[in-house]
Amino acid sequence: MSLPTPRHLLNTLLTTLHQQHPTPASPGPNTLHTLPPSSQDLLLALSHLLPSTLLPALDLLDHRRVHRCRPAAHSKKYAYFVSSSSSATVHVVRPAAWWCSCGAFAWAAFGRRGAGGGAGEVMGMGEEGGLWGGRMRGEGDVPVCVHLVACVLVEACPGLFGGYVQEEQIALERWVEIELERR
Ligand SMILES: [Zn+2]
């Protein structure tokens, strides 16, 4: 019997966390400080699998640095803008495409691959996949950065993290710029 991959474990943990915190009817203030022990255990397990990104991602959410932006008030299209905790730089994040505009993500996705290790078979998009890794193919290491982890937590468990996101509408010109940045 083969052991589950980190990607499989992460998907299982996020799904279980979502089941413990169903989506509320309207996002309200919530806190990570009053979690039941079972949810604390899940976050602890996540921190072991994401030792360098989970806590900084939670910090970004706690400091309200994650914004979900749409080109129109009721548009189904959206992207996340995440401001760095150390500078005024704003990074664009698209969890469904498993992409962030920051340098750390570019390095995780392409740099290590070029150096002979790292992302391996996960490059490219397919139809398979769960919350973690989006539609990326393969079972290799999934490239991450703290911004992407913060947004994936929101997408995976809105009942727990949705209250930490700032909803915004942005100018259509800015939206077009975002679309062009991904090409
Ligand atoms: Zn990033």
**Distance from Cα 92 to the centre of ligand 1, integer Å:** 8
Cβ < 5 A residues, ion ligand 1: 91, 100, 102, 105, 145, 147
State how far the Cα of 49 lies from the Cα of 47, in Å rounded to an integer. Answer: 5
Length of the chain: 183
67-104 per-position pLDDT tens digit: 999 988 788 889 999 987 677 788 999 998 888 999 99
**Distance from Cα 1 to the centre of ligand 1, integer Å:** 35
Q: Decide: pTM greater than 0.75.
A: yes
8-18 per-position pLDDT tens digit: 889 899 999 99
**Distance from Cα 121 to the centre of ligand 1, integer Å:** 20
**Distance from Cα 147 to the centre of ligand 1, integer Å:** 4
State how far the Cα of 120 lies from the Cα of 116, in Å rounded to an integer. Answer: 9
